[in-house]
Amino acid sequence: MNAPAIYLDYNATAPLRPAAHAAMQDLLWGPANPSSVHRFGRDAKKHMEEARRSVAEMVSAWSNEVVFCASGTEANHLALRGSGAGRVLVSAVEHSSVLKAAAHEPIAVDGHGIVKLEALAAMLTGGSAVLVSVMLANNETGVIQPIREIAALCHEHGALLHCDAVQALGKVPVDFGALGADMLTLSAHKCGGPVGAAALVVRRGLPLRALLEGGGQEQGRRAGTENVAALCGFAAALADTGGATVAELQRWRDGMEASLRAEGAIVVGAQAHRLPNTSCLIMPGVGSELQLMDFDLAGIAISAGSACSSGRIEPSHVLAAMGIEKSEASYAIRVSSGWATRQADIHAFEAHWRQLKARLAR
């Protein structure tokens, strides 16, 4: 089977950036256990601490606030389970790795997918051991949450805020201090780094119980030998500015959406502040599975809603929380671009969308 020639599924995972590949290549040979005292260990530790400094700098955090882990999923679990909160409040549009990490109460969102601040305020009544988790940008729609306001509200009521910034990193500015969150999740493979490297940024002094206990790595907050090569690839990917710029991605995406809207497409979350690379598009009456297969046959890789799980297409809880009817949600696809996308790729997608719609109308 030929691989799709056009990849527009960056929110599932991005191709590895050249700088990340270069940074990892030599380190993969090892031996590289940063806890070892000998010269190999010290060398590995030096590389890892450089990576930690550079990841921290990218999100305006301190190095010792960065806890390296193996996936965004793990970082989300560490945040929700390790904070010691007695009550956890989670926005209804979170990724399943947050929704399934702990028993929680859902926070409602409006028709644009934005957390209802008044609903959150009403839930934050007394009790100090409350943890709130709201993502910075949604993986299905790209909708961006007002995290600063949410953080202020949480702190006013003595609650902590965790923010899953996995989809935002590399696409919009992510500044730990300015956002005001107490914990922030990052993952390398969504922004051109390797799979298997991620971080939970934890505000200085915040107690956190480890999920994994053992060797005492990561200041006792995450046991297990760190994947030094992957972590260096993570740092290198964040520093690599090659390829399409965010401004280009946004311009191409906006042009495509405007032209497909004129053909009857519905853009989910169109009125909200969104990531520059993401479109959730409804082709009325045409199931997302059929669209996906048709695009795949044409050599264009896209996805339906969240593609994080097993390749199965299930009704989107994100679109349902936004009040979109189940039938309409079943017509939604997700198109997401990134550093190696060219304008011609977006044009090819657009042309195939029109062609498919016209073909099915006949």
Interface residue with ligand PLP, options 83, 91, 133, 167 (CB under 6 A): 167
Closer residue to ligand PLP in complex, CB, 198/292: 198
Helix (H) or strand (E) holding 281: strand 278-282
Window 220-249: residues binding ligand PLP (CB under 6 A): none
Which residues are registered as beta bridge partners of 162? 133, 183
In the residue annotation, 308 being an active-site residue is answered as yes
Q: Does 91 bind ligand PLP (CB under 6 A)?
A: no
Among 67, 198, 199, 238, binds ligand PLP (CB under 6 A): 198
Contact set for ligand PLP, span 93-132 (CB under 6 A): 95, 97
Site string for ligand PLP, 47-86 (x = CB under 6 A): ------------------------xxx--x----------
Residue from 65, 164, 182, 240 in contact with ligand PLP (CB under 6 A): 164
| For ligand PLP, the closer CB: 298 or 308 | 308
Dist. CA 335–CA 280, nearest whole Å: 6
Distance of CA 46 to the CA centre of its chain: 28
The amino acid occupying position 266 is: I
Phi, psi of 162 (to 5 degrees): -105, 140
Rounded least distance, CB 292 to ligand PLP, Å: 17
Closest residue to ligand PLP, judged by C-beta, is: 72
Classify strands 66-69 and 105-107 as parallel, antiparallel or unpaired: unpaired
Question: Exactly one of 69, 163, 232, 308 is catalytic; which is it?
Answer: 308
Nearer to ligand PLP, 124 or 165 (CB): 165
Pairing of β 198-202 and β 66-69: antiparallel
Q: Where are the beta strands (DSSP E) in 156-306?
A: 160-164, 183-187, 198-202, 266-267, 278-282, 300-301
Parallel, antiparallel, or unpaired: how do β-strands 160-164 and 183-187 relate? parallel
3-class state of residue 118 by DSSP: helix
Half-sphere exposure of 311 (CA within 13 A, CB side): 2
Q: Which residues bind ligand PLP (CB under 6 A)?
A: 71-73, 76, 95, 97, 135, 139, 164, 166-167, 187, 189, 198, 308
Catalytic residues: 308
